[in-house]
Amino acid sequence: MCNIERYLLQTDLEMDKIICIGLGYIGLPTATIAAGKGLNVIGVDINERVVDTINSGNIHIIEPGLKESVQKAVAAGNLRASTKPEQGDVYLIVVPTPFRGNHEPDITYVEAATRSVLPFLKKGSLFVIESTSPVGTTEKMQQLIYAERPELKGQIYIAYCPERVLPGNIIYELEHNDRVIGGIDDVSTEKAMAFYAKFVKGTLHKTNARTAEMCKLTENSSRDTQIAFANELSIICDKAGIDVWELIELANKHPRVDILQPGCGVGGHCIAVDPYFLTSDFPAESQLIAKSREVNNYKSAWCVEKIRNAVLEYEMKHTKKPIVALMGLAFKPNIDDLRESPAKYIAQNIMQFEMDGLQIVEPNIKAHHIFKLTDYKVAYEQADIVVFLVAHNEFKALTQRADKVILDFCGIFKR
Ligand SMILES: NC(=O)c1ccc[n+]([C@@H]2O[C@H](COP(=O)([O-])OP(=O)(O)OC[C@H]3O[C@@H](n4cnc5c(N)ncnc54)[C@H](O)[C@@H]3O)[C@@H](O)[C@H]2O)c1
């Protein structure tokens, strides 16, 4: 089939039945928003509990506004969840892409999801990977599809379109953020553009699959590197006796300087993970990106040392053990997500020293299977040493107390 024929095919074909593989933090909101625009969406997840929860109009993740949208879409008959894929017009792959122990990307979920839709692909199908992926993954899946279904060569559309939403604001951002869309060829890009135009209000930017894959990795590596700079500054300032928060505020008065805020490390399933997709595939070329990962990981270990030293100093000065409050466990402010959280890493390390008076606080979580949680006001009142690990809003409302040793790693009391 020549390109013109393919283009006609692309514009003629319906794209109303969507099969969304993976119903997690990204897949479920995507499926729900598409369903809200009147598309017929079948959400597929290997987790039966997830499928049952969604079909009953409920959700298994915390995201503002999502439950209402799911309820509406399910009640309207536009969204149905299933453990098995079926035939559709568009296949979206939105499954996890973690890394293995040695920081190598694991694309086995993407491969399994691709294999699961293989029997249903037909002439004119659009297959899109949204999962954050190493460069070349879309081409690998193209090869896999053509190896198993050679009759589909040149007959289907394959593209990559990464997601860049902020948890907590996913419903809005999914619809309004700009998207980068890269096909394995121009007609695939056009077909995917036409699909996303059905439910995305942000601008759609065309490119090829490899650039789109690299774009997502670039965005998160860029954030990681910029945070590493702030974290490194915080360590230098600590040694130099300079208030890093004041310093950054002053430096940012320069019209072309924009330094981010330091913290106790970098966490989450994106910024702390995705740069490894580059360092693993391009080890010689990604020196700065690799160093930034190291600096951000080191910052957490440095915080552990600072806490231990503060405890020892307290013991020497007061000849008794202090009550220590670790304030925050989440990987960033005002969420309940602990994935790859540096605060959680610090808490686990401090717990190993078997401190009697250790209090752990996370106001966004009611109970945890490892950590015994204490109310933040109670912990703040009782503690001799207060360690701020996450800048949750609740903590910012506390009054600074001169009678406590305060280790403020996230700028709670910055001026
Ligand atoms: N969460 C975010 O904020 C965010 C932002 C941008 C990009 N991403 C990327 O999006 C992708 C998905 O992330 P997420 O946070 O939604 O993951 P998640 O873990 O919340 O959800 C993934 C879902 O996929 C299901 N699944 C796994 N294999 C499957 C298969 N073969 N068939 C059907 N379902 C399967 C799992 O059961 C799970 O429910 C990842 O690549 C991630 O890096 C996530």
Ligand 1 pocket, residue 25 CB under 6 Å = yes
pLDDT at 8 over 50: no
Atom of ligand 1 nearest to the CA of 165: 5
Q: In the predicted model, what is the mean pLDDT of residues 79-85?
A: 98
In this prediction the pTM is 0.91
Summarize pLDDT for 167-202 with one digit per residue, the tens: 889 999 999 999 999 999 999 999 999 999 999 999
Ligand 1 pocket, residue 231 CB under 6 Å = no
Ligand 1 pocket, residue 22 CB under 6 Å = yes
pLDDT at 11 over 60: no
Q: How far is the CA of 120 from the centre of ligand 1 (A)?
A: 21
- Let me know: does 376 contact 314? Beta carbons within 8 Å: no
Summarize pLDDT for 120-174 with one digit per residue, the tens: 999 999 999 999 999 999 999 999 999 999 999 999 999 999 999 988 899 999 9
- Label each residue of the chain as H, E or C: CCHHHHHHHHHHCCCCEEEEECCCCCHHHHHHHHHHCCCEEEEECCCHHHHHHHHCCCCCCCCCCHHHHHHHHHHCCCEEEECCCCCCCEEEECCCCCECCCCCECCHHHHHHHHHHHHHCCCCCEEEECCCCCCCHHHHHHHHHHHHCHHHCCCCEEEECCCCCCCCCHHHHHHHCCEEEEECCHHHHHHHHHHHCCCCCCCEEEEEHHHHHHHHHHHHHHHHHHHHHHHHHHHHHHHHCCCHHHHHHHHCCCCCCCCCCCCCCCCCCCCCCCHHHHHHHCCCCCHHHHHHHHHHHHHHHHHHHHHHHHHHHHHHHHCCCCCEEEECCCCCCCCCCCCCCHHHHHHHHHHCCCCCCEEEECCCCCCCCCCCECCHHHHHHHCCEEEECCCCHHHHCCCCCCCCEEEECCCCCCC
Summarize pLDDT for 392-410 with one digit per residue, the tens: 999 999 999 999 999 999 9
Query: Positive or negative, the Cα torsion across 229, 288, 293, 353?
Result: negative
- Let me know: does 189 contact 3? Beta carbons within 8 Å: no
Atom of ligand 1 nearest to the CA of 273: 43
Which residue is listed with tokens 């792959």?
Answer: 93
Dihedrals φ, ψ of 213, to 5°? -60, -45
The pLDDT score that the predictor gives to residue 13 is: 57
Summarize pLDDT for 299-329 with one digit per residue, the tens: 999 999 999 999 999 999 999 999 999 999 9
Distance CA 125, CA 10 (A): 9
Q: How far is the CA of 221 from the centre of ligand 1 (A)?
A: 20
Q: How far is the CA of 108 from the centre of ligand 1 (A)?
A: 12
Ligand 1 pocket, residue 220 CB under 6 Å = no
Distance CA 202, CA 216 (A): 16
The pLDDT score that the predictor gives to residue 62 is: 82
Atom of ligand 1 nearest to the CA of 133: 41
Summarize pLDDT for 213-248 with one digit per residue, the tens: 999 999 999 999 999 999 999 999 999 999 999 999
Mean pLDDT of the chain: 94
Neighbouring C-beta atoms of residue 210, cutoff 10 Å: 16
Q: How far is the CA of 51 from the centre of ligand 1 (A)?
A: 14
Catalytic residues: 216, 270
Summarize pLDDT for 340-396 with one digit per residue, the tens: 999 999 999 999 987 788 999 999 999 999 999 999 999 999 999 999 999 999 999
Nearest CA to ligand 1 atom 30: 113
Which amino acid would we find at residue 48? E
List of residues 6+ apart from 73 with CB closer than 8 A: 31, 32, 35, 36, 41, 79
Ligand 1 pocket, residue 113 CB under 6 Å = yes
Which amino acid would we find at residue 84? K
- Give the C-alpha distances (Å, rounded to integers) separating 21 from 94, 111, 129, 168: 6, 12, 10, 22
Distance CA 273, CA 295 (A): 14
**Residue 3: band (very low, low, confident or very high) from pLDDT cuts 50, 70, 90:** very low
The pLDDT score that the predictor gives to residue 385 is: 97
**Residue 4: band (very low, low, confident or very high) from pLDDT cuts 50, 70, 90:** very low
Which amino acid would we find at residue 38? G
The pLDDT score that the predictor gives to residue 101 is: 83
**Residue 413: band (very low, low, confident or very high) from pLDDT cuts 50, 70, 90:** very high
List of residues 6+ apart from 369 with CB closer than 8 A: none
Distance CA 163, CA 61 (A): 17
Summarize pLDDT for 251-285 with one digit per residue, the tens: 999 999 999 999 999 999 899 999 999 999 999 99
pLDDT at 5 over 80: no
Polymer length of the chain: 415
Helices 66-75 and 27-36: crossing angle, nearest 10°? 50
Ligand 1 pocket, residue 91 CB under 6 Å = no
Nearest CA to ligand 1 atom 1: 25
